[in-house]
Amino acid sequence: MANLLLVEDDPAIRSALIRSLRELGHAVNAVDGGMAALAGAVEQKPDVVVLDLGLPDVDGADVLSMLRAVSEIPVIIATARDDESEIVRLLDLGADDYLIKPFTAAQLNARIKAVLRRSGPGAEDPLLVIGGLSIDTRSRQVTIDGRDVELARKEYDLLLTLARRPGEVVTKRDLLAEVWQLAWGGSDRTVDVHLSWLRRKLGESAAEPRYVQSVRGVGVRLTAPAADAGPAAPAADADPAAPNSKLAPNSVQ
């Protein structure tokens, strides 16, 4: 079903997971250290990496950072450390999901399927366009009024989550669940901080929002700004055939 790279140094856990995951129909390649994991991820190009944090040669968090420098392969962290701030840090580093040990192969399989659903080729149009904002989900490239916007991974995920539901108010709780995979726990502050970074890169602020609109006490929504709300850049939704786009009637609410 999926081509998995399992990184686990405990031989008992490793062989039990290999057997169970193969029974579930996955192709499993297993390694017992961080360096072997990096080599395997590059050579094997797995669909998903299942990464133990406590490894004998390189810490799993460092493996994750190094892997993220070269690859967007989905990574599920397997950790014995039930520490929320550590987990948030790993998700910020680019982990796609996590499991706290001990876990069953069925739990891991559910996470693998969820990660593949999120990262795999879906039915969605790969190009999302909202006003002057466009998001190419294949290349993870974002432009605003034709200008490239460089986003960090979580900023991109946040923008994409909002862009998939344009005009809809999304709660911070939902954003923590969908962007940070925190079904419970986590802090609104995490969302607020990333929203403020995202806004800055989009050339706006909470005080002068354009695309990212906060709805007090409810959440946040992404909408195309009114034609006259933006900075000097021409409104992308103005009719290009109009002789003077400033006079286009689309500034009327």
Residues that bind Ca ion (CB under 5 A): 9, 52, 54
Q: Which is nearer to Ca ion, 108 or 135 (CB)?
A: 108
H or E, element range at 68 = helix 60-70
What DSSP assignment string belongs to 136-193? ETTTTEEEETTEEE---HHHHHHHHHHHTSTT--B-HHHHHHHHS--SS---HHHHHH
In Å, what is the CA distance from 42 to each residue of 47, 49, 178, 249?
Answer: 11, 11, 27, 53
Q: How far is the CB of 37 from Ca ion (least distance, A)?
A: 12
Q: Which residue is nearest to Ca ion (CB)?
A: 54
Q: How far is the CB of 10 from Ca ion (least distance, A)?
A: 5
Q: How far is the CB of 112 from Ca ion (least distance, A)?
A: 19
Q: Which is nearer to Ca ion, 54 or 234 (CB)?
A: 54
DSSP state of 77: E
Q: How far is the CB of 69 from Ca ion (least distance, A)?
A: 23
3-class secondary-structure state, position 79: strand
Q: Which is nearer to Ca ion, 14 or 210 (CB)?
A: 14
Q: Which is nearer to Ca ion, 64 or 149 (CB)?
A: 64
Q: Kindly tell me the burial class for residue 220, based on how many C-beta atoms sit within 10 Å of its own C-beta (0-12, 13-18, 19 or more).
A: buried
Q: Which is nearer to Ca ion, 32 or 192 (CB)?
A: 32
Please state, in angstroms and rounded to a whole number, the distance separating the CA atoms of residues 48 and 45.
9
Q: How far is the CB of 15 from Ca ion (least distance, A)?
A: 14
